[in-house]
């Protein structure tokens, strides 16, 4: 009898002739998530088994697997032979000792001498004899014992289906560059695009010394949290202090944020092309702040040719916070460190700036030189 983690995938089964590609990427991502832990990963009839690990690490393996996109559900259980005595031995380990329960059996091997209902009845009867405080309730039981009889004279026995991350395996939907700040929204945006199978690179803008090292470390912490899902252990930072000083000194105050974001988009597109990203990703939500009006978004889009994905555009703040909490980023996101967009923040920022006015003010700056100077400050942090 061997303890195993059983993994079932989500949308991959819908991929027809391309299914092999998605399964291959999914298996690689599972291996990456389990790096550093002794294990073997084997595929068996539409599911994967993690085997040959230290049994006291089972919960750690299950926790890592739970964050891999493409996992529909997972279970910690036992791999055994398919005799009724072996199945019963495993069932005793996962069954409750009191309360209501049911036994549910699935037979992938249809030539097994007993039907699914007969297996459930036999194992259920033995469990009732072993644990007198148990009661059968097939409609609304507190607990269950699941039996999966396989084609290769083996069976799987487990006590629950745990929800996985869902979505598509990271690496099956191209690559995007996330403009990650120290706030709540952008990590959630990156998570959502990774859930759709996109490889997500991270780019952060800072304004040192106006923003301190604590603000930078906060973003590194967010990047580490996000890497649990994106499987990308890298963050690139770019300094935009000179750009902000030039905007503040030469341009209309109400356009400080709008002009800064146009520079950010230009820099992000340049970096995206260098790293092979096919789009930019932001955490913008329509109308959430002054720069996130349709006019503000149009202004930013006007300086790039790559697509800009805004997965949160129709979300309200409560919905974003809920997802931030779910992925474990919220408590870090609300730490009191400022990001670069709060530097030189005007008292009355433009809400619906006209593109002609923006371009007129921007003409006061040496845009190309400032972009090059900022790109030269790029620093790559790996973890």
Same domain, 239 and 367: yes
Q: What pLDDT score was predicted for residue 352?
A: 87
Q: Which of 296, 217, 201, 306 is nearest to 256 (CA)?
A: 296
Q: Which residues of the chain have pLDDT under 70?
A: 338-345
Q: What pLDDT score was predicted for residue 350?
A: 83
Radius of gyration of the chain (CA): 26
Same domain, 66 and 195: no
Last residue within a domain, chosen from 163, 183, 207: 163
CATH code, domain with 314: 3.40.50.620
**242 in a domain, yes or no?**
yes
**If DSSP codes are grouped into helix, strand and coil, which group holds residue 4?**
strand
Q: What pLDDT score was predicted for residue 348?
A: 77
Phi, psi of 238 (to 5 degrees): -135, 135
Last residue within a domain, chosen from 104, 132, 163: 163
CATH code, domain with 147: 3.30.2130.30
Same domain, 110 and 183: no
The domain in which residue 349 lies consists of 175-382
Same domain, 96 and 119: yes
How many structural domains comprise the chain?
A: 2
Distance CA 91, CA 239 (A): 59
Per-residue pLDDT of 80-135, as tens digits, reads: 999 999 999 999 999 999 999 999 999 999 999 999 999 999 999 999 999 999 99
Same domain, 152 and 183: no
**168 in a domain, yes or no?**
no
Last residue within a domain, chosen from 109, 135, 163: 163
**300 in a domain, yes or no?**
yes
Same domain, 185 and 84: no
Distance CA 258, CA 249 (A): 15
**170 in a domain, yes or no?**
no
Q: What pLDDT score was predicted for residue 186?
A: 97
Q: What pLDDT score was predicted for residue 16?
A: 77
């Amino acid at each position: 009898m061997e303890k195993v983690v059983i993994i079932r995938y989500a949308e991959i089964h819908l991929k027809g002739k391309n299914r092999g590609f998605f399964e291959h990427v999914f298996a690689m991502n599972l291996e990456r998530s389990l790096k550093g832990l002794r294990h073997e990963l084997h595929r068996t009839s539409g599911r994967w088994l993690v085997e040959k690990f230290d049994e006291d690490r089972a919960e750690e393996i299950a926790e890592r697997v739970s964050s891999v996109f493409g996992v529909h559900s997972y279970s910690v259980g036992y791999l055994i032979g398919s005799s009724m005595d072996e199945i019963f031995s495993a069932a005793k380990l996962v069954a409750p000792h009191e309360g209501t329960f049911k036994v549910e059996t699935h037979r992938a091997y249809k030539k097994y001498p007993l039907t699914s209902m007969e297996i459930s009845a036999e194992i259920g009867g033995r469990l009732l004899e072993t644990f007198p405080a148990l009661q059968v309730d097939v409609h609304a039981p507190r607990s269950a014992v699941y039996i999966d009889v396989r084609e290769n004279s083996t069976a799987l026995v487990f006590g629950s289906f745990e929800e996985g991350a869902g979505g598509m395996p990271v690496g099956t939907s191209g690559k995007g560059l996330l403009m990650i700040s120290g706030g709540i929204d952008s990590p959630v945006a990156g998570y959502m695009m990774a859930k759709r199978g996109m490889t997500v690179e991270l780019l952060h803008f800072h304004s040192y010394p106006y923003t301190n090292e604590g603000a930078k470390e906060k973003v590194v912490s967010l990047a580490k949290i996000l890497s649990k899902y994106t499987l990308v252990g890298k963050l690139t930072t770019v300094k935009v202090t000179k750009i902000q000083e030039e905007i503040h000194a030469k341009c209309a105050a109400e356009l400080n944020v709008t002009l800064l974001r146009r520079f950010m988009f230009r820099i992000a597109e340049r970096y995206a092309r260098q790293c092979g990203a096919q789009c930019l990703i932001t955490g913008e939500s329509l109308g959430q702040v002054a720069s996130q009006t349709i006019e503000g978004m149009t202004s930013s889009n006007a300086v790039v040719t790559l697509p800009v994905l805004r997965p949160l555009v129709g979300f309200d703040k409560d919905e974003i916070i809920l997802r931030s909490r779910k992925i474990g980023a919220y408590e870090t996101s609300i730490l009191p460190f400022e990001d670069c967009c709060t530097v030189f923040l005007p008292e009355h920022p433009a809400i619906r700036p006209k593109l002609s006015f923006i371009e007129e003010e921007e003409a006061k700056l040496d845009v190309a030189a400032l972009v090059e100077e900022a790109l030269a400050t790029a620093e790559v942090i790996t973890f």
